[in-house]
């Protein structure tokens, strides 16, 4: 890969001159974001757009794009537009026209047009790199594995201990460090629950163009679901949800074993599905066991003093609605807006006590605004998953009634507007 659009070297490698912290170094920072995934980089960019500097600590030695691609609905595109990168990313992903549900067990098919809703599937690497390109040089530090956080009761500063022995002292701490979040643990949030399902992801390249319609197609048989979303005219993202097996702990470490296990899982599916997996890009394939937070986990403990969480660290969810990534983008916009409203350009000025009150107020507003939105997403996810998985006709009917009563339009979640930055 060559230089980025502004002439900088890509972040797959540490830039020359970037500080590499060792056990003998210690530094102070105003705002530290832990986690350089989609939400962490989006939060840093949102703050940057409001002229607020932050430091992003990423444990890996390069940008991470695990998961191959991400489906983004209208609400996510609204957030990307606020970050100033929506139009650029639209050039890299075609607009999908409909959702096509196929139930092989009983031969039922249903195609629902997207209408005015905007759904595109974007390569994670495209999204991650675009976010990173728009950050000031030196914002992201790689190889920074956080192992422990302590909060000074007198100064209210957060002392971050890294794996290499170095220390960072942060006035403000934002955890975007995923389902295994150390920041969420520090806030005493309950550990995300394990779900019984795994998800395998990858993408397949067709040199002469793929043969599929521009639809999001979901095919179900027994307890397995296969999803297919074209990214452009030659690249197709796919995912497979199936029960988690004990051997998956070993399988997921070896791409060849994972491909073999995945082909076994879809051997009774149509030939086009089998070929899709067989021809997959081996660098893109991955397997994860799904984790989630229950709705009631979000009722308390989402911020404390000048520390809070965002993205999967706050609201890990089963990807049934396809809103996990977009919800993280929404978090970034709301968090940066609340901080700018409370702090203005005054971060780093004045006494620590005054700063603490301002940041606490900002985080309180952020959590209050996000909580109801996230509760609705988590409840709808649970009910829709229950409709598909339950074998009881009575329970299925009850879940459908609850969904209609509580949410009405099944795509209402995609119409949400997180507001201007």
**What b/e sequence results for 119-129 when a residue is b if at least 16 CB atoms lie within 10 Å of its CB, and e otherwise?**
bbbbbbbbbbb
| Element spanning 406, H or E | helix 393-407
54 vs 56: CA distance, rounded Å: 7
Per residue in 328-380, pLDDT (tens digit) is 999 999 999 999 999 875 565 556 678 889 999 999 999 999 999 999 999 99
State both tokens at 127.
């999204």
| Residues 18/136, Cβ–Cβ less than 8 Å | no
| Residues 55/29, Cβ–Cβ less than 8 Å | yes
Residues 6+ apart with CB under 8 A from 169: 26, 27, 28, 29, 157, 158, 159, 160
Own/partner pairs, 104-107, CB within 8 angstroms, 24+ separation: 104/219, 104/220, 104/221, 104/269, 105/220, 105/221, 105/222
Residue 160 β-bridge partners: 149, 168
Distances (CA, A) of 170 to 28, 90, 152, 181: 6, 36, 10, 17
Average pLDDT over residues 45-64: 95
Query: Average pLDDT of the chain?
Result: 90
pLDDT over 90 for what percent of the chain? Answer: 73
DSSP 90: H
First and final CA of the chain: distance in angstroms? 32
Per residue in 88-114, pLDDT (tens digit) is 999 999 999 999 999 998 888 988 887
- What pLDDT, on the 0 to 100 scale, is given for residue 242? 95
140 vs 118: CA distance, rounded Å: 31
| Residues 333/415, Cβ–Cβ less than 8 Å | no
Beta strands, E only, 285-367: 286-292, 303-304, 307-309
Per residue in 149-205, pLDDT (tens digit) is 999 988 889 999 999 999 999 999 999 999 999 999 999 999 999 988 999 999 999
| Lowest pLDDT segment from 58-67, 291-300, 389-398 | 389-398
- What pLDDT, on the 0 to 100 scale, is given for residue 347? 62
DSSP 117-165: ---EEEEHHHHHHHHHHTSPTT-EE-S--EEEEEE-TTT--EEEEETTS
Give the residue with greater pLDDT, 361 vs 116: 361
Per residue in 128-137, pLDDT (tens digit) is 999 999 999 9
Domains of the chain, earliest start first: 26-66+127-192+293-415 (3.50.50.60), 195-292 (3.30.9.30)
- What pLDDT, on the 0 to 100 scale, is given for residue 412? 85
> Does pTM top 0.85 for this prediction?
yes
Tokens 């990858």 appear where?
A: 202
Per residue in 250-299, pLDDT (tens digit) is 999 999 999 999 999 999 999 999 999 999 999 999 999 999 998 999 99
Diameter of the chain by CA atoms?
A: 67
- What pLDDT, on the 0 to 100 scale, is given for residue 1? 36
- What pLDDT, on the 0 to 100 scale, is given for residue 200? 97
135 vs 47: CA distance, rounded Å: 10
314 vs 324: CA distance, rounded Å: 11
């Amino acid at each position: 890969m060559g230089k980025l659009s502004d002439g900088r070297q890509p972040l797959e490698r540490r830039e020359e001159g970037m500080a590499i912290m060792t056990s003998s170094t210690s530094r102070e920072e105003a705002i530290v974001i832990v986690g350089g995934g989609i939400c962490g980089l989006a939060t840093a960019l949102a703050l940057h757009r409001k002229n607020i500097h932050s430091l992003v600590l990423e444990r890996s030695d390069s940008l991470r794009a695990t998961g191959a691609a991400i489906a983004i609905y209208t609400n996510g595109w609204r957030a990307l537009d606020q970050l100033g990168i929506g139009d650029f990313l639209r050039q890299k992903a075609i607009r999908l026209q409909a959702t096509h549900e196929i139930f092989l067990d009983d031969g039922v098919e249903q195609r629902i047009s997207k209408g005015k809703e905007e759904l595109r599937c974007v390569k994670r690497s495209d999204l991650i790199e675009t976010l990173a390109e728009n950050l000031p040089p030196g914002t992201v530090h790689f190889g920074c594995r956080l192992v422990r956080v302590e909060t000074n009761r007198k100064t209210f500063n957060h002392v971050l201990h890294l794996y290499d022995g170095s220390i960072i002292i942060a006035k403000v701490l934002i955890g975007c460090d995923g389902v295994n979040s150390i920041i969420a643990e520090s806030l005493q949030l309950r550990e995300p629950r394990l779900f019984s399902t795994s998800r395998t992801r990858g993408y397949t390249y067709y040199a002469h163009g793929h043969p599929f319609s521009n639809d999001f197609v979901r095919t179900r048989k027994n307890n397995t679901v296969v999803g297919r979303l074209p990214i452009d005219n030659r690249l197709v993202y796919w995912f497979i949800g199936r029960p988690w097996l004990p051997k998956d702990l070993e399988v997921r470490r070896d791409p060849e074993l994972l491909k073999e296990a995945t082909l076994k899982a879809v051997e009774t599916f149509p030939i086009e599905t089998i070929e899709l997996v067989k021809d997959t890009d081996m660098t893109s394939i991955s397997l994860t066991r799904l984790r989630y937070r229950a709705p009631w986990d979000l009722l308390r403990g989402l911020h404390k003093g000048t520390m809070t969480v965002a993205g999967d660290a706050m609201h890990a969810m089963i990807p049934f609605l396809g809103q996990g990534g977009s919800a993280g983008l929404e978090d970034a916009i709301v968090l940066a807006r609340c901080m700018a409203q409370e702090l203005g350009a005054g971060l780093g000025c004045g006494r620590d006590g005054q700063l603490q009150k301002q940041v606490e107020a900002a985080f309180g507003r952020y959590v209050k605004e996000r909580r109801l939105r996230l509760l609705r997403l988590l409840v709808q996810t649970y009910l829709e998953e229950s409709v598909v998985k339950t074998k009881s006709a009575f329970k299925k009917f009850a879940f459908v009634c609850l969904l209609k009563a509580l949410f009405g339009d099944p795509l209402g979640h995609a119409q949400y507007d997180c507001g201007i930055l």
